[in-house]
Structure 1
């Protein structure tokens, strides 16, 4: 934290874990990411006398039946969350939603190339939905604003579902500064960017970080072994 902590602008970061993972971390070697260190560094680079009070991480527990590595994926996610809480007990807050699916399958229309939408042509699919995360994030931001717990908020997401929360905070608490960090890869000459910043979120942001480059993620990795109260937490082998 800054040396003049008392006068620093209290800042909380709100992370849409699902959006961060699928928008930026999936398929990369950076999943063992120290979120608190990452945002500490980013605020220091902004040099706006901002003090990172808390990182609030909104996600849902992985389900082994739907995960790429089965039970190992569930254990990896749990190890990651425990590592962050052990390393930053006072500045990392984990808020769980849930996953839901219809055990008998969900009927959805089939896509057939060259043919129009036909509701009658349907098939059963496994449809996994994340529940409560969007609501938890919106309520978390708004309640912090109501409590005047922070003077600056940073949303890490590119999901337009967060638009109503930003709109309400902007209208009801115009003195709170809103930042947006978009969890996507930066565009490079031989690999054009495949996702762009959500315009519905950007219009409410006072400032935007449009992508997260590899070097930032690499420099903010947790150590391979994180000390904890009971036994040390190891980085998952397949990560």
Structure 2
């Protein structure tokens, strides 16, 4: 039986879900259950989740920390979370307004390096990449140089299809609503190792506050939206 490792670009998945469903009702996602549903005939040996810790003390930071703790509680040793970093930068609108924002760095690089290393060492004989980032194409090509037998496929998050990965890989699919709904964590997650309890954030509930994606139109001045106002 093939040894399957699933590599998840957390940033790509999060924003794909938000872009598709216009809110965060499906962000309380059991990524290990989702990974297992993608190739049921293979032995899932590891799920690798790549993200970056948010900065500051906002509610978003707390939601991320709660989510990662819940994932670790339900997934045990199957899941490994790799945290990259955010780099601050100043954004200037044409209207002259400025604000500081953060840009995710190194997540795709970590995923690419692990994919190549796992195939080279035969830790993975089968791989699924949950991402629509075409920057991963060189890593796929390099991994194939180490093993002609390895089967690498893509599972694209909603609204995150990469035509480059589709052309390169022998198979791909788009993760549909059914898989996502079936792989939600319970509203309350108990950590059997520590006794800690984690609750689904209210904003991530089906009837919670919806983080609508603004539909921007008009002049440069009307388009200027400081991230803190979203």
Name the structure 2 match of 1:170.
Answer: 144
> Does structure 1 residue 236 correspond to structure 2 residue 223?
no
TM (norm. structure 2) is 0.80
Aligned 8 A contact 1:178 1:204 in 2? no
Change (3 A) 1:147 1:202: same
Match of 1:31 among 20, 23, 27: 27
Give me the whole-angstrom Cα distance separating, in 2, the residues matched to 1:170 and 1:40.
Answer: 23
How far the C-alpha of 1:198 sits from its partner, in A, is 1.1
Match of 2:168 among 204, 214, 234: 204
Name the structure where helix makes up a greater proportion of residues: 2
How far the C-alpha of 1:217 sits from its partner, in A, is 0.9
Give me the whole-angstrom Cα distance separating, in 2, the residues matched to 1:59 and 1:201.
Answer: 21
Name the structure 2 match of 1:51.
Answer: 43
How far the C-alpha of 1:141 sits from its partner, in A, is 0.7
SS of 1:226 mapped into structure 2? strand
Give me the whole-angstrom Cα distance separating, in 2, the residues matched to 1:219 and 1:62.
Answer: 27
How far the C-alpha of 1:147 sits from its partner, in A, is 1.5
How far the C-alpha of 1:197 sits from its partner, in A, is 2.5
Unaligned runs of 5+ in 2: 205-230
1:172-229 superposed Cα distances (whole Å, 9 cap, x missing partner):
3221100100101xxxxxxxxxx463122122212101x2222221111111111111
Unaligned runs of 5+ in 1: 1-7, 65-69, 112-121, 185-194
1:20-55 superposed Cα distances (whole Å, 9 cap, x missing partner):
0111246141111011111212222xxxx3111111
SS of 2:202 mapped into structure 1? coil
1:52-74 superposed Cα distances (whole Å, 9 cap, x missing partner):
1111000101224xxxxx62111
The Cα RMSD (Å) is: 2.0
Larger relative contact order (Cα-Cα within 8 Å, sequence gap ≥ 6): 2
Aligned 8 A contact 2:187 2:199 in 1? yes
SS of 1:216 mapped into structure 2? helix
Give me the whole-angstrom Cα distance separating, in 2, the residues matched to 1:207 and 1:179.
Answer: 5
Which 10-residue stretch deviates more, 25-34 or 91-100? 25-34
